[in-house]
Amino acid sequence: MNLTGGQRDGLGEYCTPQVSKRTRERGLLKPEQARPSKEASMKNRWIIVGVAGVSVLLGAAGAAASSYNPLKWIKKGPSPTASEQLAANKEEEKKLSLQLQAVLPPRTSLKDACAGFKNLNDCVASLYVSHNLSIKFNCLKWDVTGAKPAGDIKSCAAPSNDKAMDLSKAIHVLKPGVNSRTQAKSAEKRAREDIKDAS
């Protein structure tokens, strides 16, 4: 008797393929189920992990809303302002003041010039732009920081909506005839180098 192709019923008795088919139709036998291989189950796990990872990233992107840069999704503590950076390292302040003596406005210390800037790099770059393009430093400072500086600002126009703007936009507003983007990048590069040398 050939027993290949049959199935065991619920009582453990073996049924021939013909009987097995009729019994399955009547609901007496369980349908045959193939077990997934190890590769298939691992693949399914990786798919689930991948979907979960993508949903976490998309959730973080929705939270950040304005940025697709994953580094900006990680919350950091507030970075020190230019004044705080200078106050934290007096030796750096001395070296930087000596390096920038030629570009500082008359009778102005580096500490006073950098008051109100979000970081030291912005301050030093603004000093270079002011000197290189003959723009009044206080006018440039007002546009870059968005805060009204102390000192002579009679000839300065207030930034639109009293909001800070980046250095290249401020250059474009104050000196429309120059390549503002190139000037800003050049000044920012020089500022980074000077700060690195003073450290």
Domain boundaries defined on the chain: 82-198
Please report which confidence band the pLDDT of residue 48 belongs to, taking 50, 70 and 90 as the band edges. Answer: confident
User: How does DSSP classify residue 150?
Assistant: S
> What is the mean predicted confidence (pLDDT) over 175-190?
90
Residues of the chain with pLDDT > 90, as a percent, come to 6
Residue 71 has pLDDT above 70, yes or no: no
Comparing 99 with 85, the larger pLDDT belongs to: 99
Assign residue 12 a region: left if phi > 0, alpha if psi is -120 to 50, beta otherwise? left
Residue 177 has pLDDT above 80, yes or no: yes
Comparing 90 with 7, the larger pLDDT belongs to: 90
Non-local CB neighbours of 49 within 8 Å, separated by 6+ positions: none
Residue 11 has pLDDT above 80, yes or no: no
Residue 93 has pLDDT above 50, yes or no: yes
Comparing 174 with 24, the larger pLDDT belongs to: 174
User: Which residue is associated with the tokens 């270079």?
Assistant: 128
Question: Could you tell me the two tokens for 18?
Answer: 């013909």
Q: What is the dihedral of CA 169, 174, 179, 183, to 10 degrees?
A: -80
- Can you tell me the distance from the alpha carbon of 133 to that of 176, in angstroms, rounded to the nearest whole number? 11
Residue 82 has pLDDT above 50, yes or no: yes
Bridge partners of 8?
A: 14
Give the range among 6-10, 40-44, 184-188 with minimum mean pLDDT.
Answer: 6-10
pLDDT digits (tens, 9 = 90+) for 105-158: 888 888 888 888 888 889 899 999 989 998 888 888 888 888 877 777 777 777
Q: What is the pLDDT of residue 1?
A: 47
